[in-house]
Amino acid sequence: MPSQVVLVTGAATGIGNLTARALAAAGHTVFASMRDPFGRNLSRSRDLLEAALEQDFDLRVVELDVQSQRSVEDAVTCILDQSGRLDVVVHNAGHLMVGFAEAFTAEEIAHLMDVNVLGMQRVNRAVLPHLRSQGEGLLVYIGSTTSVVLPPFLAPYVASKAAFDALARTTAYEVGQFGIESTIVMPGPFTSGTEHFPKATRAGDEAVTAAYAALEPMVERNEEATAALFGDKTNADPAAVAEEVVRIVALPYGERPSRTVVDLTDAGVERVNEVSEGAQRSFLSRMGFAELLRSAAPSPHS
């Protein structure tokens, strides 16, 4: 696979940061995007740029706020101005909320949906015209096994990842007809190596939270309970997700899976996916839309 031009959203920390570094190390031109890279995220953007310089990687930083269509458009314009094309988009930006479902206001959940779901839509609206004109491209979505196993005390996050997954898959039907492939990568839980849990937002309604006080000990040990799912000898390193993205990008056209799972807790998500995708294939075939399940060949002009 020749070098690709890749945009990674949410690359300041965690899986996005690891993925940007891994793709650059694999020889790709990578634009690691984040909010305010020369202000609040200055140290993080500097770390990436210094790593690129030291290791001679083509790793660049671009400002991108998934909550702003203008910011997204400006970032994509910057990438195209510098590289002349864009081949791969890794949708990674996201946020976590922890607490009791009732204690989250509708506005809080709407904010999370704006980041985790509509942020992806804003990015797609900016990049898809260019991928369609090229007649090829790859959209990699960093989803979550939570949309299948439904862990407790994460209701807004679980709902957002389920919506993210559904929007990604149904978008894939359409863009695939223009030579654009899509893969949903579903990480299992990782309790270290990311800032997901430390930076998680708690529910804002303290009165309702207090009404659920009897359950608070469960919330407090949620991270510990998650960590206990790993075997004694399991190295639960989120770098495994970055490595899987690198593998997907390197696969030839037509061999990339529609989804892949990186789960070290043996949650059984692969088995659920197999049943779900079988039903999906059957349903679309009965509708006469089976061709939407596979991408068209890349444009000969790409």
Specify the DSSP element, H or E, that contains 262: strand 259-262
Q: Which of 141, 157, 173, 253 is catalytic?
A: 157
Q: Residue 238 has which token pair?
A: 């989120």
Residue 99: left (phi > 0), alpha (psi -120 to 50), or beta?
A: left
Residue with tokens 């996201």: 94
28 in Cβ contact with 2 (< 8 Å)? no
What is the distance between the alpha carbons of residues 302 and 290, in angstroms, rounded to a whole number? 25
Q: Which two tokens stand for residue 33?
A: 């995007």
Under a CB-based contact definition with an 8 Å cutoff, are residues 64 and 106 in contact? no
Q: Catalytic site residue 253?
A: no
Nearest to 296 by CA among 213, 172, 118: 172
Chain-centroid distance of CA 227 in Å reads: 22
- What 3-state DSSP class applies to 220? helix
Tokens of 246: 């690198």
The count of other CB atoms within 10 Å of the CB of residue 181 is 26
Q: What is the sign, positive or negative, of the torsion defined by CA atoms of 261, 265, 271, 276?
A: negative
Q: Which residues are catalytic?
A: 157
